[in-house]
Amino acid sequence: MTRIILFILIITGSVMAQDFELADYLNTKYESYKETTLNIRRFKHSDIVPLIERLKNNNLYKVNKAGTSAQGRDIYLISFGNGPTKVFLWSQMHGDEPSATMALFDIFNFLNSGDQKEFKDDLLKKLTIYVMPMVNPDGAEVFERRNSANIDINRDAVRQQTPEGRLLRSTFEGIKAKFGFNLHDQSPRYSVGNSHKAAALSFLAPTTSYEKGIDDVREGAIKLIGVMYRTLSNFIPGYIAKYSDEFEPRAFGDNFQKWGTSTILIESGGWKNDPEKQQIRKMNFIGILTALQSIASESYKNEPNSTYDSIPFNDKFIMDLLLKNLTYECGTTTQTIDIGINRDEVNKEGSKDFYYKSKIEDIGDLSVFYGYEETDLTGYEAVPGKVYEKEFSSVDELKKVNFNSLYEQGYTFVKVNSSEIIDAFIDLPINIITDKTFNANSRIVIEDNPNFVIKKDGIVKYAVINGFLHDLSNPDKNNGNGLKFPQ
């Protein structure tokens, strides 16, 4: 018996080493496989169609039009491999969740290369892999979560009201895959438990009932996630979490698990200084390919369930900007407060780009929270911003202004008498008022847009404009956008 156990441990260790050897190679060589036409998150259906058309000319793939969206955009099913084990991957069920879609086209580029031939031959011999990128092309067109009828496709697994949901379910039923990969994005403000680390990736083996039991199907997902977690922890240690395991009876992942496919949810979260999620895209690329290797070799069967159990759950302890230990005069009292600020993206240019609109998320003792940007301002005072008295005739005139000089006097708003300003934002580090009757009453209260200056010994050292911190001693690093008022 001892010899048998030792043999199993040696074989398991050898397979695990092979899993990491591939992952390390993919990490090193990733840039040579990255699909360079998809460099930003806000790509559209028309951007991926030429890439799919290109696959039609490659004998490796079978490319079929699976159906159409509510607005008539084609939804494709791409398959490759001839093995007995079927795997189904689908992405961008939510139109504003594109990280994994980018990674899938990176995977196609890897498969098209002449690299790692032995691995690819084994994969294609043992697996048949089906990919449905961009399940919700209408949502992607406007970079919004829901489809054109404003229905969340991922809550349509049972009622089947959307053409996209009906197509996804019928495709699933036609494939009858052993494994499924449900590929999403989550808020970048999720943390790994109560820590300062953002949840770059969160995994879940969805439950099939409120009791959260584990049958053989769910256990397969649990074990495979364990493999992915161990592998990716070599590259982003401490930045991987587990998504909430509450049962959602309307969702596709929970139902696919219930209907016999071991389903793995992957949620792409946040990474500091990477708003386009290119690092997380890379982790999807590595994680999915090493998972496919583990399915082909069946090494996941040796992974203990305890690996999955050890992954901390998502929590929400991260904000975009956290200003700590500020003094603030409120009425007749002086308080020491932290100010937590979050920046929301607002679509512009037909959803091809965005601007930021920020709000004060919380005020007070925020010592349990963390920020992508954090500044300790002990000894500094927060003072609401003011409106500059002079009125500018145009944006061009405003561009000539030294903004530091405005900040130094406590100004966070200027008036512009111009009909040329039609957008709700301005690409300058100041807010503008276009209506003389508008009362720009800057306050430091929850839910308000954050616009104030920060003083030390009566001298302005920082300005907060629409939630972006501007350091007067280093103006070259100032970024962000102002807003137009009234909104």
Give the burial class of 305: count Cβ atoms within 10 A of its Cβ; 0-12 exposed, 13-18 middle, 19 or more buried.
Answer: middle
Q: What is the pTM of this model?
A: 0.93
| pLDDT, position 127 | 98
CA–CA distance, 46 with 64 (Å, rounded to integer): 17
Tens-place pLDDT, residues 122-173: 999 999 999 999 999 999 999 999 999 999 999 999 999 999 999 999 999 9
On the CB side of 347, CA atoms within 13 Å amount to: 16
Band (406; pLDDT cuts 50, 70, 90): very high
Last residue of a domain, one of 289, 315, 341: 315
Q: How far apart are the C-alpha atoms of 243 and 205, rounded to whole Å?
A: 9
Is 3 domain-assigned? no
Are residues 384 and 279 both part of a single domain?
Answer: no
Neighbours of 27 (CB within 10 A): 16
Same domain, 298 and 432: no
Number of domains the chain is built from: 2
The verdict on residue 8 lying in a domain is no
Range of the domain at 352: 318-485
List, in sequence order, every residue forming a beta bridge with 124; answer none if it has no partner.
Answer: none
- Model confidence at 4, pLDDT cuts 50, 70, 90, reads very low
213: pLDDT confidence band, cut at 50, 70 and 90?
very high
Same structural domain for residues 299 and 341? no
DSSP code for 367: T
For residue 468, what pLDDT is reported? 97
- Confidence grade of residue 2 (pLDDT, cut at 50, 70, 90): very low
- Looking at the fold, whether 372 and 283 belong to one and the same domain comes out as no
Query: Which residues make Cβ contacts (< 8 Å) with residue 40, sequence separation at least 6?
Result: 276
> What's the average model confidence in pLDDT over 20-25?
95
C-alpha distances (whole Å) from 230 to each of 226, 240, 242, 244, 290 are 6, 10, 13, 20, 11
Q: Within this chain, do residues 180 and 288 fall inside the same structural domain, yes or no? A: yes
304 and 198 inside one domain: yes
In-domain check, residue 113: yes
Residues 423, 465 share a domain = yes
Question: Within this chain, do residues 331 and 269 fall inside the same structural domain, yes or no?
Answer: no
In 3D, which of 463, 457, 484 has the Cα closest to residue 475?
463
Range with lowest mean pLDDT among 13-27, 281-295, 360-374: 13-27
**For residues 439 and 384, is the Cβ–Cβ distance under 8 A?**
no
Domain boundary among 298, 315, 332: 315
Instruction: Read off the amino acid at residue 214.
Output: I
Q: What is the mean pLDDT of residues 304-313?
A: 98
Rg (CA), the chain: 26
User: Is the pLDDT score of 299 beyond 90?
Assistant: yes
**pLDDT level of residue 185 (50, 70, 90 thresholds):** very high
Instruction: Quote the pLDDT of residue 12.
Output: 45
256 within a domain of the structure (yes/no): yes
Task: Give yes or no: residues 125 and 186 share one domain.
Answer: yes
**Domain shared by 172 and 250, yes or no:** yes
d(CA 171, CA 75): 11
Q: Which of 315, 331, 360 is where one domain is finished?
A: 315
CATH number of domain containing 63: 3.40.630.10
Helices (H), 358-441: 395-399, 403-408
Contact indicator for 252, 182 with CB cutoff of 8 Å: yes
Pick from 91, 259, 286: nearest CA to 182: 91
Report the percentage of the chain scoring pLDDT > 70: 96
| 2 falls within a domain | no
**What is the Cα–Cα distance from 34 to 148, expressed in whole angstroms?**
30
Do 127 and 22 belong together in one domain? yes
Contact (CB, 8 A) for 254 and 246: no
- What are 68-123's pLDDT values in tens digits? 999 999 999 999 999 999 999 999 999 999 999 999 999 999 999 999 999 999 99
Cα 160 to chain centroid distance, Å, stands at 27
Cβ–Cβ < 8 Å for 386, 412: yes
Q: Which helix H or strand E contains 105, and what residues bound it?
A: helix 99-112
For the segment 361-384, the average pLDDT, to the nearest whole number, is: 97
Residue 18 confidence class, pLDDT cut points 50, 70, 90: low
Do 278 and 324 have their domain in common?
Answer: no
Whether residue 5 lies inside any domain: the answer is: no
Backbone angles phi, psi at 297, to 5 degrees: -85, -10
The secondary structure of 225-236 as a DSSP string is HHHHHHHHTTTS
Write phi, then psi, for 437 (nearest 5 degrees): -85, -10
Residue 7 lies in a domain: no
Residue 223: inside a domain: yes
How far CA 50 is from CA of 55, 92, 118, 283, 480, in Å, comes to: 9, 18, 29, 24, 34
Q: How confident is the model over 240-298, as pLDDT tens digits?
A: 999 999 999 999 999 999 999 999 999 999 999 999 999 999 999 999 999 999 999 99
